[in-house]
Structure 1
Amino acid sequence: MGETATIKFLKWIPLYEEERPFQIFLELPPEAPDQRKTNLTWDEKDITVTDFRDNAADFQLDTHGFATRKLEGFSELENDKDINARYIPEVKRMLETELGDVGTVFVFDWRLRSSRPSLTAEKINFSDPNQLLLPSNYAHIDTCPISVIQRIQKSFPNDAAKILRQRIRAVNVWKPLSCPVDEWPLAVCDGTTVKPNDLVETDSIRQGSISTNYYVKHNEDQKWYFLQKQTPDEALIFKHFDSEPGVKAPFALHSSIKLQSVPEGAKPRKSIEVRTLIFSEKFRSADEVVL
């Protein structure tokens, strides 16, 4: 049984034939001749999302690009010390236990989000993981292959060549905090229903770095899923990249979704997402990285 929800998709415009799509997350010098911070144009669409909880075993990372697992005992996480000391090790343990072909789980980022705008900052500071971000209502994949390679080269300068010869996956773990999700749940799209032409490389320019991600054009064939009233004990696991040839689903799209029906008096959503790279062999240097 599906529900109707709204997602923003990238709208293709002729400009992208001559200029790469981009977003700039920093202040521009007043003397800069081009004061645009983005050239992205959006196409808001109503889609059907299906609750997959009752047949969750049918959905796995390699067959659909996403899965769900139990991750109990972390309904409240107060600060970065608590997250790094207690939650991150449990996320790594869960991935090592639940996924196959895992030698190293390298956690390189985590983010907290809240659907209550009064709690979020007006300006985004990506160097501060404690800053609450709003839910993102844009269909996207967090990273492109070139950004995965650059991340490995930067974080593992001595082992990068070895790592790049094995299986590499970029995997996120997302779950709510405090209470089940009534507003702005996270939805994932079956990667096997996404056509290559649906994906558009976009440059993300931040203080000290330029990375690339995919925004997504709408396609009627895309099939979206979520966990209705997802609880703090339920984690969504989804892929952004998989170097293994022949994997049925090397990625899954994701987006927070605006549901047409939200219960009156719904509590605001609070959530945490953990971003990882998973290698098939063990590299001790990953354990030395401090967020």
Structure 2
Amino acid sequence: MVYVLAELSFIADDPRYEREKPYDIVYASSSDPLKSNCQFATSSAIRITDCRSKFEEYNLKHHGFAFLLCPSSVSLRSLLSEDVDTAKEAVQPYLKGTIAIAREELKPERVICFDWRIRKRSVSEVNVSHDGGRVKLHRHLSSDEIAKVTDGEWEIQFVNVWRPISEVVKDAPLTLCDPSSVARDDLPEVDKVHTDHVEESAYLKQRPHREW
């Protein structure tokens, strides 16, 4: 298989996290020394396999991710427009189309889009931890729907959908990690502190055996 060697950032394997939970105050200024206690380390020469010629070999059930050809007509320029109305008008068809993709592929009873953003280069992370997922359920589902989850009537899946909105990604392309190469201890939970609530996500530690 064709591969490239790349540089990625990970949360540092710091002993302090054994006694102090990592956190990030989302609304704080970047100059605030108390904004975050997260320390990151960059690893180079990480082997990333080019799987573009074998999209059909990957699926959500066995690999935790899948590839689909679902282009969007929404432009990056419109989403980044300084005119609020233009940006709002652009994002609605994008979100509706993305929801339609999830509905077609997963055949769920209901689809909820509770967050969207334009992806920027970042450290390696999981968007929501196990406990953080439960918090999100209580924020976005009604009490009757929560009861269906608790009683086992509903099974919940959190799914990220990444859709390109630029013709060619020349910098920091999306990279996926094979979940079978990730141990539970390699995903320290991180508190994301907002003004009105706290979410929990997870960052990834670097390990030499990982497959990308």
The reply to whether TM is greater than 0.5 is yes
Offset of 1:58 from its aligned partner? 1.0
Offset of 1:170 from its aligned partner? 0.8
* Structure 1 contact 75–176 (Cα < 8 Å) conserved: no
Offset of 1:163 from its aligned partner? 2.7
Cα deviation, 1:84-142, whole Å, max 9, x if unaligned, reads: 2x12121111112123x5221110111124xxxxxxxxxxxxxxxxxxxxx23311100
Match of 2:104 in 1: 97
* Structure 1 contact 75–178 (Cα < 8 Å) conserved: no
Q: How many aligned positions are there?
A: 196
Amino acid at match of 1:185: P
Match of 1:2 in 2: 3
Q: Distance in 1 between the 2:138 and 2:118 partners?
A: 26
Offset of 1:75 from its aligned partner? 4.6
Q: Distance in 2 between the 1:8 and 1:24 partners?
A: 20
Offset of 1:20 from its aligned partner? 0.6
**23, 31, 38: which one aligns with 1:40:** 38
3-state SS of paired residue (1:174): coil
* Structure 2 contact 74–94 (Cα < 8 Å) conserved: no
Offset of 1:35 from its aligned partner? 4.6
Q: Distance in 2 between the 1:73 and 1:36 partners?
A: 40
Match of 1:162 in 2: 148
Match of 1:56 in 2: 55
Superposed, which structure 2 residues align to 1:146-185 within 5 Å? 146-158=131-143, 159-164=145-150, 165=152, 166-185=154-173
Q: 1:75 to 1:5 in 2, by over 3 A?
A: farther
Q: Structure 2, unaligned stretches of length 5 or more?
A: 79-86
Indicate whether 1:83 and 2:88 are aligned: no
Q: Distance in 2 between the 1:171 and 1:62 partners?
A: 12
* Structure 1 contact 75–179 (Cα < 8 Å) conserved: no
**125, 136, 144: which one aligns with 2:129:** 144
* Structure 1 contact 194–222 (Cα < 8 Å) conserved: yes
* Structure 1 contact 143–214 (Cα < 8 Å) conserved: yes
Amino acid at match of 1:177: I
Offset of 1:48 from its aligned partner? 0.9
Superposed, which structure 2 residues align to 1:201-220 within 5 Å? 201-220=189-208
Q: Distance in 1 between the 2:35 and 2:97 partners?
A: 38
* Structure 2 contact 71–163 (Cα < 8 Å) conserved: no
Cα deviation, 1:206-256, whole Å, max 9, x if unaligned, reads: 2212111110111112111xxxxxxxxxxxxxxxxxxxxxxxxxxxxxxxx
Q: Structure 1, unaligned stretches of length 5 or more?
A: 29-33, 114-134, 225-291
* Structure 1 contact 10–215 (Cα < 8 Å) conserved: yes
Superposed, which structure 2 residues align to 1:275-290 within 5 Å? none
Match of 2:28 in 1: 27
Q: Distance in 2 between the 1:216 and 1:66 partners?
A: 17
Q: Distance in 1 between the 2:166 and 2:33 partners?
A: 40
Q: Distance in 2 between the 1:80 and 1:70 partners?
A: 25
Q: Distance in 2 between the 1:26 and 1:92 partners?
A: 28
Q: 1:39 to 1:55 in 2, by over 3 A?
A: same
Offset of 1:5 from its aligned partner? 0.9
**TM-score normalised over the length of structure 2:** 0.85
Amino acid at match of 1:106: I
Match of 1:71 in 2: 70
Q: Distance in 2 between the 1:220 and 1:14 partners?
A: 19
Match of 1:106 in 2: 112
3-state SS of paired residue (1:169): coil
* Structure 1 contact 140–216 (Cα < 8 Å) conserved: yes
Q: Distance in 1 between the 2:40 and 2:33 partners?
A: 19
Structure with the higher fraction of residues in strand conformation: 1
